[in-house]
Chains A and B, each alone.
Chain A
């Protein structure tokens, strides 16, 4: 396909003309099926995490064992939350870089996102280890079961996200993510931001709101 650079709609041109800054896909909705599928998946994930958060709210008053505010280390968790929050920035900068055709920069940002995500997971493993040492096992109380299930599920989501990020870097190094397939990076980014958004809710509801 021979197409001149000037005839390609840029983000700037698209923004100037309409709210939609993305180039239309060849589908009825103008959105690629992959992206639509990811958004549908994320909508369904709202229900999954909604269920887990609701269960935690119902069971957060333990009948036995340590209470949440006896064991939570808020300064530590705040730092972890900040790390995850900043990983959303590096992720969106990676998407921006690939849209500009800057492959090396994209890999750097994605690598930074993966490192920040891994730091968050390391913090969560450390936190769980400390809690277990202080006598809060998975089956210690209804609170502990609900807490570990909720935060553990989130941790698994972050881990899957890290695997996807590493895969993106490897694919990029093999030259399999040219600019016209930047949407692949954007879709992984959507998943990563959603994981961050879920933590925003967990951090406030589980850690900060007093019993």
Chain B
């Protein structure tokens, strides 16, 4: 028998039903990982001459670190990893649309052009 979210299940029946299985450890480890990535991000500011992100490398390095944090939170904390695929598609629909629209907009305003902006 399938339990649906609309069923009026007494609290006492469900109490402790998932107690033996917890993702808490995964969540704590994920937070630690995110903390470390954030420290690396801050290090790009504190130690700008470090070879890994020196000069023009800093922008791609920061973008990669940002993307890692973004997708880690979305997949683990927001449960996309565990949830129905349609939710992933739905979210990516908005995200990809936003990225494409605003890349087009930035290109229109010649944001990638390194010359003098008047």
- Measuring CB to CB, which residues of chain A are less than 8 angstroms from any residue of chain B? 1, 3-5, 7-12, 15, 19-26, 29-32, 35-36, 39-40, 42-47, 49-51, 53-54, 57-58, 61, 74-75, 78, 81-82, 85-86, 88-89, 91-93, 96, 99-101, 178-180, 183, 186, 189-190, 193-194, 196-197, 200-201, 203-205, 208-210
Contacts and interface: CB of A to CB of B under 8 A. Distances in A.
A53 B27 contact: no
A200 B16 CA distance: 35
Contact of B91 (A24, A42, A81, A210): A42
Interface of B: 1-9, 11, 13-24, 27-28, 30-31, 34-35, 38, 41-42, 44-45, 58-59, 62-63, 65-66, 69-70, 73-74, 76-79, 81-87, 90-91, 93-95, 97-99, 101-102, 105-106, 109, 111, 117
Contacts of B69: 200
Contacts of A82: 35, 38
Nearest to B15: A101
Decide if the interface of chain A is mainly helix, strand, loop or mixed: helix
Contact of A204 (B14, B41, B73): B41
A30 B84 contact: yes
